[in-house]
């Protein structure tokens, strides 16, 4: 059976050579040949559609993977800020002890235990994208395209039905990828908002601690 370009020539779509509806020898195509050509064009169109869906899936999966990696980096930055917050707690506690020593002119460095440690919050309360997937629908059983007891028309219909099922499944995957991407972007936004608040808070604490330290050194 001729390919897509060959069928176009047979149907006269290339604008040159045989008139529309004639074969390469100028003979009119039979009705059966026209039907077979049209069936092949339908199959090719479905294959092209499935190919485009497969490409879109690959791009979407790669994008979601990058977003997930970026969100993990942001979560790590958030944990690092928690460590900074804990260290500042200890620094402020030490500054308070030093201020008391200077105030009473006695050594009170050993009179106070370490400052209380806070439980790190981190970003565990921010749900990770892709954790709540909808249950996938059950795939249909594929029709046997190679059954020797069926005619060409039935074989064609089965091929079309199977390819349409493949396209439907591919679109479901694309839909899920789009949902995952939306969740990833929401996750990024929430973590960035938290990071912004924490960074502003820690900068203010560092500035205040520096001013206290400078005062003690005078």
Q: What pLDDT does residue 127 have?
A: 67
d(CA 11, CA 216): 94
Residue 189 Cα distances to 91, 102, 183, angstroms: 31, 46, 10
Cross-strand pairs, 28: 22
Q: Given a cut of 80, is residue 64 above it in pLDDT? A: yes
pLDDT band at 100 (very low <50, low <70, confident <90, very high): confident
Q: What pLDDT does 14 receive? A: 45
140-158 pLDDT tens trace: 788 898 899 999 899 999 9
- Based on C-alpha coordinates, what's the Rg of the chain? 35
pLDDT tens digits, one per residue of 72-98: 999 999 999 999 999 999 888 888 888
Reduce the secondary structure of 142-165 to three states and give it as a string: CCCCCCCCCCHHHHHHHHHHHHHH
SS3 22: strand
Q: Compute the distance between CA of residue 192 and CA of residue 210 in angstroms, rounded to an integer.
A: 27
pLDDT at 98: 82
Mark 45-82 as b/e (b = at least 16 C-beta within 10 Å): ebeebbeebeebbeebeeebeebbeebeebbeebeebb
The 10s digit of each residue's pLDDT in 101-136 is: 766 555 555 455 555 555 555 556 666 766 655 556
């Amino acid at each position: 059976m001729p390919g897509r370009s060959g069928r176009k020539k047979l149907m006269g779509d290339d604008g040159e050579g045989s008139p529309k509806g004639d074969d390469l020898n100028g003979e009119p195509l039979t009705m059966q040949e026209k039907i077979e050509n049209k069936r092949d064009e339908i199959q090719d169109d479905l294959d092209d559609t499935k190919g485009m869906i497969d490409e879109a899936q690959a791009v979407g999966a790669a994008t979601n993977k990058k977003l997930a990696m970026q969100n993990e980096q942001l979560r790590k930055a958030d944990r690092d800020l928690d460590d900074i917050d804990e260290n500042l707690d200890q620094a402020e506690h030490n500054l308070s002890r030093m201020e008391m020593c200077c105030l009473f002119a006695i050594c009170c460095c050993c009179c106070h235990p370490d400052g209380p440690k806070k439980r790190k919050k981190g970003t565990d309360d921010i749900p990770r994208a892709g954790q709540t997937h909808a249950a996938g629908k059950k795939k249909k059983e594929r029709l046997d395209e190679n059954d020797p007891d069926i005619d060409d028309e039935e074989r064609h219909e089965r091929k079309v039905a199977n390819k349409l099922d493949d396209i439907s499944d591919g679109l479901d995957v694309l839909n899920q990828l789009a949902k995952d991407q939306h969740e990833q972007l929401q996750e990024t936004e929430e973590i960035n908002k938290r990071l912004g608040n924490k960074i502003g808070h820690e900068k203010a604490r560092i500035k205040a601690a520096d001013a206290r330290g400078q005062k003690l050194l005078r």
